[in-house]
Amino acid sequence: MERYQRQIPMIGEEGQKRLEASKAAVAGLGGLGCNVITHLAAAGVGNFILIDGQCADESNLNRQFVYDANDISRRKTERSAEWIRRLNPAASVEEHHMTLNDRNTEVMRGCDLIVDCLDNRDSRMAVNRFAFRNGIKLVHGGVESLFGQVTVVIPGETPCLECILPDTDMEAVSSLSPMVGTIGSIQALEAVKVLAGVHSPLSGRLLSIDASDNSYRVIPIKKRNGCGCCSAKN
Ligand SMILES: [Zn+2]
């Protein structure tokens, strides 16, 4: 346990064991996903399901630090799995090179938590529906330019992503390493709390960051009447 002695005061030995026994699905291995897998592997999460349909390209290298110039055109899932195993050889990693939609979300079956590091609304909504149907907690993060947000969805208790996200896609045209690093790190922190079962997750509330002037707000969020995902069953 020496490896984890600095974090056990925060999460407890039981919490550490829960991390090591847990399985996290990380949907999306871009700027957010690179941060999330790094922190979760270092903290001792024992099992990963990685899903991303892209290969690394040069425009990723300003912020997606898992990949370097030698990884151009390589599958992100493959390189990310290597990265996790290097950080924590005890971890098991499943790789799924695919773009998530309603027909393939089953690859996440059996996970204890989903971390949404996606960059498009269609995949997000498919993941949201899968999480809701199966009662799996979901840590959402999103970044657009210098704005970012994080929330934890607990199916049946909190609003779901379809309740709170706009109908239009975020345009991920501008992206800076420390910005995705901030949001991805907060997602990883929430994931550790949920998986270890300690402290208070950011559920029923949305952390909203405007880094242009360092405004950080935590806003209560509500279920939306008529939400196509979660309202029928509530
Ligand atoms: Zn909803």
The pLDDT, as a whole number, for residue 74 is 98
Kindly report, residue by residue over 60-111, the tens digit of the pLDDT.
999 999 999 999 999 999 999 999 999 999 999 999 999 999 999 999 999 9
The mean pLDDT value for 19-39 works out to 98
* Structural domain includes residue 31: yes
Query: Which residue bears the tokens 């300690």?
Result: 198
Q: How much distance in Å is there from the Cα of 7 to the middle of ligand 1? A: 34
pLDDT at position 138 is 98
- Is 141 inside any structural domain? yes
36 inside domain: yes
Q: What is the residue range of 174's domain?
A: 2-220
Q: How many domains does the chain have?
A: 1
How would you list the strands of the sheet with 215-220, edge to edge? 92-96, 47-51, 23-27, 113-116, 137-144, 147-153, 205-210, 215-220
Q: Ligand 1 centroid vs 9 CA: distance in angstroms?
A: 36
Rounded to the nearest whole angstrom, what is the distance from the C-alpha of residue 152 to the centroid of ligand 1? 13
φ/ψ of 79, rounded to 5, equals -65, -40
Residue 9 has pLDDT above 80, yes or no: yes
Distance 155 CA to ligand 1 centre (A): 9
Hey, what are 10's tokens? Answer: 């925060």
Span from the CA of 137 to the centroid of ligand 1 (angstroms): 13
120-167 tens-digit pLDDT: 999 999 999 999 999 999 999 999 999 999 999 999 999 999 999 988
- Residue 229 belongs to a domain: no
| Structural domain contains residue 231 | no
Residue 227 placed within a domain: no
Q: Does 225 map to a domain? A: no
Instruction: Tell me what pLDDT residue 171 has.
Output: 63
Compute, in angstroms, the gap from residue 63 CA to the centroid of ligand 1.
31
Type of residue numbered 203:
S
Q: Alpha-carbon distance 57 to 52, whole Å? A: 14
Q: How far is the CA of 132 from the centre of ligand 1 (A)?
A: 9
Does residue 151 sit within a domain?
A: yes
What CATH number has the domain bearing residue 69? 3.40.50.720
The dihedral sign for the CA sequence 125, 44, 109, 34: positive
Beta carbons of 221 and 159 less than 8 angstroms apart: yes
Q: List phi, psi (to 5°) of 150.
A: -145, 140
Q: What is the pLDDT of residue 155?
A: 97
Which pLDDT score, from 0 to 100, does residue 36 have?
Answer: 98
Instruction: Indicate the pLDDT class of residue 234, thresholds 50, 70 and 90.
Output: very low
The alpha carbon of 234 and the centre of ligand 1 are apart by a number of angstroms equal to: 10
HEC secondary structure over 47-91: EEEEECCCECCHHHCCCCCCCCHHHCCCEHHHHHHHHHHHHCCCC
User: For residue range 163-194, what is the model confidence (pLDDT) as tens digits?
Assistant: 999 887 766 678 999 999 999 999 999 999 99
